[in-house]
Structure 1
Amino acid sequence: MNNYISPTNLGMRYFTVFFLFIFTLSGFSQETSVKGTIINDNTLLPIWNANIVNTNKVRGAISDSKGNFEINADVNDILLISCLGFQSIEIKVTNDWIKSQNSRIKLTEKAYALEEIVIPPYTLTGYLEVDAKLIPERENYWYSIAGLTKRYEGGENSPNAFNRVMGSLFNPADALYNFFGKRPKELKKLREIRSDENLRNILQNKYDRQAIYLMFGINEKELLEILERCNYSEAFTKSANDLQVLDAINGCYEEYKILKKK
């Protein structure tokens, strides 16, 4: 019995094994995704322009005119689904969902109550010189640090800003630095937000901070503490959208790294 294998046949066998190995790796490296249709819980009509955020993968998607969407996701990932006028919901991705590749998701409309309008107690005379003295003027100050392009707001909008700036410089156990220094996964998410345009567009229109809380595993109190350490005013904290908040935190962390090195 002849067991001789020619170099040509041996080379073909090695090539086949190598090809199968590469094919297997490419199969494992492919990202999985889920599809779904978002509908109104009451009318059962599709909801377009709904926001879908994968808080684990830091990815975003928007439903089309038929309520359909597709987003990268693995089993156990949490999707935050929201839309203006509807209650936001959190959904965990399951094996069944990935296999079926479609799921109908119902959103419930919010019930709105009109808030009372409060008119400021200023009696104006119509004369500019007199009225200018009746309305109190807010004075705000800005503090800056040599070597950094960013300024810090003070005054009535942000009292004690100067003390917080100086405390940030000389406090070696700074809350922001310690927070991200001990949570590299969260820091990676913070940087990945720059690369997903869909997610950035979604966060630019969100003000509820839900996506921030889920993505970084923090609560409202911790977020306020981080923004305070970054010397952002209460006015900014209340008026900024979610994207502005995350960009502010990211810029703040980069500045703190520079200060720590110096």
Structure 2
Amino acid sequence: MGRYLAFFLLVIGTLGYSQETKGLNDLQELKALVVNAQTDQPMESVHVVNLNQVVGTITNEKGEFNLTAKVNDTLFFTFLGFKSQKIRVSNDMFKFKNTKIALTELAYALEEVIVRPYSLTGYLEIDVKNLPLNNAFQYSISGLSFGYEGGSKNPSAVTKVLGAILNPADLLRNLFGKKPNQMRKLRQMKEDDQIRNLLASKFDRETLTELLQVEKIDINDILTNCNYSKSFISTANDLQILDAISSCYEEFKILNRKN
């Protein structure tokens, strides 16, 4: 009798462990509610992105959302005028359907606006002396009829300019090589309509940097070395930036295979 009891307890324990492991490793439907932290009122049209699975959704009029996720996935919440927030998915979020995620409003402090930053007299000879000088350094290379702007004077500026001109493939390899796994997510991002709609309304690069796990300066470096203009980089929405990075990455892979 004791043997049968021990065997029975072992089977029950194994089944319980199996169910727990399945919950941790399998994609499940996650349901939760987003509320305003100050008023506890539900928030409609909050963008929710699963950074691991690269899928997105928005909350309904009751502040509710459904999203596929695994335990330990990271959810990223964004809404205009509120602080963005990242939440790690726990097993309890699947067990209890009334999980609340609270977003906090941003406090905007208005700064003094200077309408006339320079004291101009109307006399050209005097006003020219009062205008600030451009401190960006230009680097010329023998044999080329034009120079390159290298920004502030520092030892790495010349190296960066030379690297971009003489070996752009290596420069891109270093940039893309930092996060190869994240760059592979580019196609997934382009195929998810919710993420595309979210990025089309964004200009701050915040969601894009979270999805790609790169810094804003890396995005600028990638686009600059793929011959995108400063005007495009500074004015394009996040979806246009995503498409530009994706196009550049595809060209880089072709160039890399040839080498």
Secondary structure, counterpart of 1:214 in structure 2:
helix
> Which deviates the most, 224-233 or 76-85?
224-233
Between the aligned partners of 2:114 and 2:223, the Cα distance in structure 1 is 29
Could you tell me which of 94, 106, 130 is aligned with 1:110?
A: 106
CA RMSD of aligned residues (A): 3.3
**Residues 106-145 of structure 1 mapped to structure 2, 5 A cutoff:** 106-119=102-115
2:55 pairs with 1:63: no
- The alpha-carbon distance between structure 1 residues 117 and 236, as it changes in their structure 2 partners (threshold 3 A), is farther
Contact 1:180 / 1:186 at 8 angstroms: preserved in 2? no
Contact 1:177 1:253 (C-alpha < 8 Å) held by counterparts: no
Displacement of 1:184 in angstroms is 4.3
Q: By how many angstroms is 1:45 displaced?
A: 1.0
Deviates more, 1:224-233 or 1:179-188: 179-188
Q: Which runs of 5+ in 2 are unaligned?
A: 1-21, 121-145, 151-159
Match of 1:93 in 2: 89
User: Would you say the 8 A contact 2:26–2:70 is kept in 1?
Assistant: no
1:176 lines up with 2:176 in the alignment? no
Q: Could you tell me how far apart the structure 1 residues matched to 2:215 and 2:179 are?
A: 15
Q: Secondary structure at the match of 2:185?
A: helix
How far does the alpha carbon of each residue in 1:181-208 deviate from its partner, in whole angstroms, 9 at most, with x for none? 5754223211111211011101111223
Q: Is residue 187 of structure 2 the alignment partner of residue 194 of structure 1?
A: no
Aligned-pair identity in percent equals 42
Residues 1:257 and 2:253 are matched in the alignment? yes
Other structure's SS at 2:27 match: coil
What is the aligned partner in structure 1 of residue 132 from structure 2? none
Deviates more, 1:186-195 or 1:216-225: 216-225
Q: 1:95 to 1:170 in 2, by over 3 A?
A: same
Q: CA deviation at 1:52?
A: 0.6
Provide the residue aligned with 2:15 in structure 1: none
Kindly indicate whether residue 39 of structure 2 is the aligned counterpart of residue 43 of structure 1. Answer: yes
Q: Which amino acid aligns with 1:40?
A: N
TM-score normalised per structure 2: 0.66
Runs of 5+ unmatched residues, structure 1: 1-26, 124-154
CA distance in 2, matches of 1:88, 1:201: 17
1:210 counterpart = 2:206: yes
Paired with 1:43 and 1:91, the residues of 2 have a C-alpha distance of: 20
Q: Does 1:223 align with 2:219?
A: yes
Structure 1 residue 111 displacement after superposition: 1.1
Aligned residues: 201
